[in-house]
Structure 1
Amino acid sequence: MSEILVLVVEDNPLQAKLIEELLSETGDTKFTIYCVDCLEAGLNYLSQNRPDAILLDLTLPDSEGLQTFLRMHNAADNIPVVVLTGNDDLSLAAKAVEAGAQDYLVKGKIDGHRLARSLRLAVKRTHAEQQEWNSPMLHLAQQQFLKAAQIMSLDENLRERLLFPQRTLVVTLPFRRDRYSHVETVFGYRVQHLLTMGPTKGGIRYHEDVGLGEVSALAMWMSWKCALMRLPFGGAKGGVRIDPTDLTGHELQRLTRRYTMEIIEMIGPEKDIPAPDMGTNEQVMAWLMDTYSQQLGYSVPTIVTGKPVALGGSLGRREATGRGLVYVIEEAAKVMGLSMQGATAVVQGFGNVGSNTARLLEELGTKVIGVSDVTTGLYNPKGLSVADLLQYVENNRVLKGYPHAEEVTNQELLELKCDILAPCAMQNQITAGNVEKLQCKMVAEGANGPTTLEADEILKERGIFVVPDVLGNAGGVTVSYFEWVQGTQNYMWTLDEINSRLKKILVDAFQRTRGRSEKQNLDFRTAALIEGIERVAEAKLRRGLFP
């Protein structure tokens, strides 16, 4: 459940109490309220704290009218302000909106859902206005690209073109909550970074931090990833800024179908092929496929990959990212002279990628001594039973409370002594602030962008082998390609065929990256990026510029 801290500036204690009661009744978001009864107290609170939103009465003991809003707005420093007004002050409220207020609410006509929705949307709008391109993840992706471009002396026209996506779509979309009268409005995105190599390919994520910058970064990485694997795709990505854990199954389906209709002109089996990502799964892909197919009047299984096998999905797709990461870890271990049998591993993240990585490492004889999810980290130096962990998560949804391990924080987990550290959760986990504390021999990235540029340099200096994300987590898009091919041919491969083909492609990419790394004395990430960017650059130059 998402949480919003609200500063309420209201001198009428009954009205303040009503607001607190109304917000406590909304189950979709947890609102934490801090009430003050005059403008000066509100300004003093802002000098020490940063709430997510401000609910402001324009008539207070120490200030009245538009001046009340302007003083609060100037002090708020981009915190959204929602104005409270009476029926006789509507013109004043309208002037406050013109001056920058996100919304206004009329006293006496406020219900809990209207109040909660206004505050949620104010927070979302402010984030959209301020943060879309100002994304740490996009900055990281661009810095990695520019470093590689400088080393390979990339044509500056191409360098300028490839810094940003070719197409972006930002939508606001409504969907109904289970309470029929409650309509939620959220922001959605679809980004196509590169259209040169064939149809674009990339997942759809549902997460409360999704924004244009993050989606653009992921689309850029997908371009290099597809080119490195020699797949006939350009990079794309999409998402909706929402916490999917707050949604019922019915709400998730309505959201997915509405989002599909908003982006339907941009996607297609020959144009842009979505897949699952963080917060989505094969069921979400099934709804997307059905919505698209309903508009065309016939089934179009190739509109998505990562869908259920019963609808034309591929065997092995669900575990493909984790399996691919383990294939690459095996190759890296050979280079390092590290035996997988008896090696120790720590896996951050226990979603689809992390859990399959841990399971497959254990099958190779590697001792998994640490795992984590959003609720906790677990450590057992004698080794954890991955099968037991999977069963516990199936019963309890999260790792919190697992009895056969010591609880640690996610930060402490990264610093455990081990042979293999696999960050498979979120971006920006290994930074200049903690990289010196790592006690691993290899970092194998299952997540996108888990290591900052500064940390990369220190890892290289420390001699820690890094399997970069563009190589390490490429198994998912590779088996998605297999699924797309099977769908276009109306033919199914066996699981052994899929895993064999996956391993062959990943090992080939690893060996090409290793060769470039050794020949040019580059770290593995830069070598992998150059390997992909070089292929993109050649394709762009071959096609030329139209007109």
Structure 2
Amino acid sequence: MNAQSSNTIKLLLVEDNPIHVRLIESLLADAKSPSFSLESVGTLSDAHQRVSEGAPEMILLDLTLPDSEGLQTFREIRSQAPTLPIVIVTGLDDVRIAAKAVEAGAQDYLVKNQLSRSTLTRSLRYAIERTRVRDAEWDSPMFRLAQRQFLKAAQLMGLDDNIRQRLLFPERNLVVTFPFRRDQYSEVETVFGYRVQHILTMGPTKGGIRYHQDVSLGEVSALAMWMSWKCALVGLPFGGAKGGVRMDPTGLTSHELQRLTRRFASEIHLMIGPDKDIPAPDMGTDERVMAWIMDTYSQQVGFAVPAVVTGKPVVLGGARGRTEATGRGVVYLVEEAAKQLRMNLSECTAVVQGFGNVGSHAAQFLEALGVKIIGVSDATTGIHNPNGLSVAALLEHVKENRFLKGCRKGEAISNQELLELRCDILVPAAMQNQITADNAERVDCRILAEGANGPTTLEADEVLNEKSVFIIPDILANAGGVTVSYFEWVQDTQNYMWTLDEVNERLHRILVDGFRRTVGRSEQTGVDMRTAALIEGIGTVAQAKLARGLFP
């Protein structure tokens, strides 16, 4: 279903009583995570018309309509839209009808005179969750992209078919559901969480934990696979892992976020550990979340274990420079690409999509090199100023308002318009699938540095390569975070802390080495930079697989 691609759900209400329509509107008016865009029709024939036009993402259905009555109403709309989640809201308080309705495929059966804001919104949320579990766990656009990238590289490098089949799916997948209590103690939700380990061959696994409403098993598996190639590419002794919780953290209080984190940590604690699997921050999580995970794990084993996570506060054994490491790494690699292309960075312009941790730090470091930042964006808006934006002013606005929306330092534009601005350096540091076959022809930059995971599709790659855009692929461009996480893990296991200069010097050395090997592979084999990086990473994993052999 398309409902998961946005945090606003298109809801079709099929109800002929205007009083009940207004009731539903009022109950859903303040709903968040998700919110609902509500359209109402009064007859079954009108509902058929809207469904045929592809309008709704889910349906709220009354069983008594001017042109249909009873369960036949549900059966007719179900036959037309067999995959859409449908919640029945009716005045028929009959347990036998309710049982038949849910047996026939209704997600829920609600009686109007028992309706409240919490029962309605909870029912709709659960309908979305159940549909996602049915349709979209493995079948994720990100996982399909990760597998296609892998298969392309495997074909070009002549990878042994046994290893190719073995690496297509993760070795271990943990899916958990657990109760989560809101600050209003009457509300307890069931939440989905994941931890995936792609390969166990290289040592302990490593990968972040993200909190986002679009997290699924397929998405986490894709990220774990990319992490395997990333670690192997830059020479880290880890296999790839990833975790996540399907929850929008932006609407949570600090107490709710801590309860969610600690319960999730307790659910996965047998799978993680400093010698098994080491989580780190990702989208929607930060050093505070890592501190809670460390504490929860330590409570389980009875003593403090700093090395169980990375990206935690320095006072708990965190590495200096970890917070900004991914953004700093992106800029280190942009510097190398500029040398390759003989570009003077002090004369260059840059656009950064995504003004979170990665994007904001990348913008800061680019600005420090003399690059003019002419466009930035976040989930709420994009801002364009051809004369340049002050990153410090943008950060101050975000500090006060949380998002860029309302910032008057430039012209407000959409994220898609931002991606098509003419610039020298484009840094997509937001979500996956941002540059596709639909807009790649309009992307107008010389260097594309992928701060996000999977921002560019394979079809877009072909277009960009034909245009001679120099792509720094994600498994190299955003490897700074996992590299400094590795430093943190080493420091925690040795109880020996490094200075910020030592961290940055080591980070620079490792990333530049990875860049030069990738460029060399690209020139030697005549493949694009992404394929070259994948061949480097996959080749290292394949060698390790062959060296260890097969048991039994």
Same fold (TM over 0.5): yes
Shift of 1:14: 4.1
Matched, 1:308 2:313: yes
Specify the SS of the correspondent of 2:263: helix
Match of 1:257 in 2: 262
Matched, 1:54 2:59: yes
Match of 1:179 in 2: 184
Shift of 1:88: 4.9
Match of 1:281 in 2: 286
Q: Which of 450, 459, 478 matches 2:455?
A: 450
- Name whichever of 103-112 and 128-137 sits farther off: 103-112
Q: Which of 104, 113, 138 matches 1:108?
A: 113
Code of the residue aligned with 1:349 in structure 2: it is G
Matched, 1:291 2:278: no
Distance 1:235 1:21 in 2: 46
Specify the SS of the correspondent of 2:214: coil
Distance 1:500 1:27 in 2: 44
Contact 1:52 1:123 in 2 (8 A): no
Q: Measured at CA, do residues 88 and 472 of structure 1 come closer, stay the same or move farther in structure 2, by a change above 3 Å?
A: closer
Match of 1:133 in 2: 138
Contact 2:137 2:217 in 1 (8 A): yes
Which runs of no fewer than 5 residues in structure 1 stay unpaired? none
Specify the SS of the correspondent of 1:293: helix
Code of the residue aligned with 2:84 in structure 1: it is I
Matches within 5 A, 1:403-422: 403-422=408-427
Distance 1:526 1:221 in 2: 13
Distance 2:92 2:533 in 1: 63
Q: Measured at CA, do residues 34 and 440 of structure 1 come closer, stay the same or move farther in structure 2, by a change above 3 Å?
A: closer
**Aligned-residue CA RMSD in angstroms?**
1.7
Matches within 5 A, 1:392-407: 392-407=397-412
Shift of 1:12: 4.5
Q: Which of 432, 437, 441 matches 1:436?
A: 441
Matches within 5 A, 1:1-400: 2-24=7-29, 26=31, 29-85=34-90, 88-400=93-405
Specify the SS of the correspondent of 2:423: coil
TM-score by length of 1: 0.96
Distance 1:379 1:359 in 2: 16
Specify the SS of the correspondent of 1:426: coil
Distance 1:221 1:533 in 2: 10
Distance 2:406 2:32 in 1: 25
Q: How many pairs are equivalent? A: 547
Distance 1:2 1:439 in 2: 30
Contact 2:231 2:482 in 1 (8 A): yes
Q: Measured at CA, do residues 52 and 458 of structure 1 come closer, stay the same or move farther in structure 2, by a change above 3 Å?
A: closer
Code of the residue aligned with 1:129 in structure 2: it is R
Specify the SS of the correspondent of 1:108: helix
Which runs of no fewer than 5 residues in structure 2 stay unpaired? 1-5
- Name whichever of 82-91 and 417-426 sits farther off: 82-91
Contact 1:26 1:113 in 2 (8 A): no
Code of the residue aligned with 1:186 in structure 2: it is V
Q: Measured at CA, do residues 88 and 419 of structure 1 come closer, stay the same or move farther in structure 2, by a change above 3 Å?
A: closer
Specify the SS of the correspondent of 1:350: coil
Specify the SS of the correspondent of 1:341: helix
TM-score by length of 2: 0.95
Distance 2:382 2:23 in 1: 40
Contact 2:50 2:56 in 1 (8 A): no
Q: Deviation string for 1:480-503 (max 9, x for gaps)?
A: 000011111111100000000101
Matched, 1:540 2:545: yes
Contact 1:132 1:213 in 2 (8 A): yes
Distance 2:523 2:546 in 1: 27
Distance 1:207 1:160 in 2: 30
Q: Measured at CA, do residues 87 and 305 of structure 1 come closer, stay the same or move farther in structure 2, by a change above 3 Å?
A: same
Contact 2:383 2:412 in 1 (8 A): yes
Shift of 1:441: 1.0
Distance 2:31 2:148 in 1: 42
- Identity among equivalent positions (%) equals 67
Distance 1:439 1:46 in 2: 38
Specify the SS of the correspondent of 1:347: strand
Q: Measured at CA, do residues 401 and 33 of structure 1 come closer, stay the same or move farther in structure 2, by a change above 3 Å?
A: closer
- Name whichever of 283-292 and 410-419 sits farther off: 410-419
Distance 1:525 1:192 in 2: 23
Match of 2:475 in 1: 470
Distance 1:202 1:29 in 2: 27
Contact 1:25 1:112 in 2 (8 A): no
Distance 1:358 1:77 in 2: 46
Q: Deviation string for 1:44-64 (max 9, x for gaps)?
A: 332234323222233444333
Distance 1:406 1:44 in 2: 39
